[in-house]
Amino acid sequence: MAGPGFEIEPWEIFCDFEEQIRPHDGLCAFPDCRAPFRAVKAWQRYCCAECRRADQAEARRVGHMIARPVLIMRETKHAKPRTGGALLNSSARRYVDQVASRWREARTVRAREAEARTLMAPKLSTAAAGERP
């Protein structure tokens, strides 16, 4: 099976500078986890590889949902007003906006729930964590 026929750098490389200047909040970026962790690298956003893989899989599913509408948006970008192309462009934009909004809302709810679970979890004392008091 042939690939898409083009090469483009991943988002993480494309926005490297912007990601580095964005402050890290100390919580895992995967909304189902949100565990506190200390980033070793400036670009690190996940507490572990499992969370990174799970978040990437979720993004891939959403990407598959919006791939065709995004392509249609680009193909019909300069369609004349009140034509089929313009209507299709508008429909594709609304769909992409709707998916993005619902995905963001769902992630926010899941993150809040994960943070609440983290706050309610019993705290380990320093001694219990294996360090000397």
Residues in CB range of 46: below 8 A, 6 or more apart: 28, 29, 30, 33, 52, 55
Share of the chain above pLDDT 70, in %: 82
Ordered by start, the domain boundaries in the chain are 13-120
Round to the nearest angstrom and report the end-to-end CA distance of the chain: 59
Instruction: With both helix axes pointing from N to C terminus, report the angle between 84-120 and 49-75 in degrees, rounded to the nearest 10.
Output: 160
Looking at the predicted structure, is the pLDDT value of residue 133 above 50?
Answer: no
Q: Which two tokens stand for residue 78?
A: 């300069």
Distances (CA, A) of 103 to 58, 96, 99, 121: 10, 10, 6, 27
Q: Which two tokens stand for residue 17?
A: 């500078």
How crowded is residue 61: how many other Cβ atoms within 10 Å of its Cβ? 10
pLDDT the model gives residue 48: 94
> Is residue 31 within 8 Å of residue 107, measured between CB atoms?
yes
Looking at the predicted structure, is the pLDDT value of residue 127 above 60?
Answer: no
| CA 39 from centroid of its chain's CA atoms | 18
Mean pLDDT of 11-26: 72
pLDDT the model gives residue 132: 34
pLDDT the model gives residue 44: 84
Looking at the predicted structure, is the pLDDT value of residue 131 above 50?
Answer: no
In the block, residue with structure tokens 């949100």: 34
- Tell me the pLDDT band of 22, cut-offs 50, 70 and 90: low
pLDDT the model gives residue 5: 78
Per-residue pLDDT tens over the stretch 24-41: 788 999 999 999 998 887
Looking at the predicted structure, is the pLDDT value of residue 21 above 50?
Answer: yes
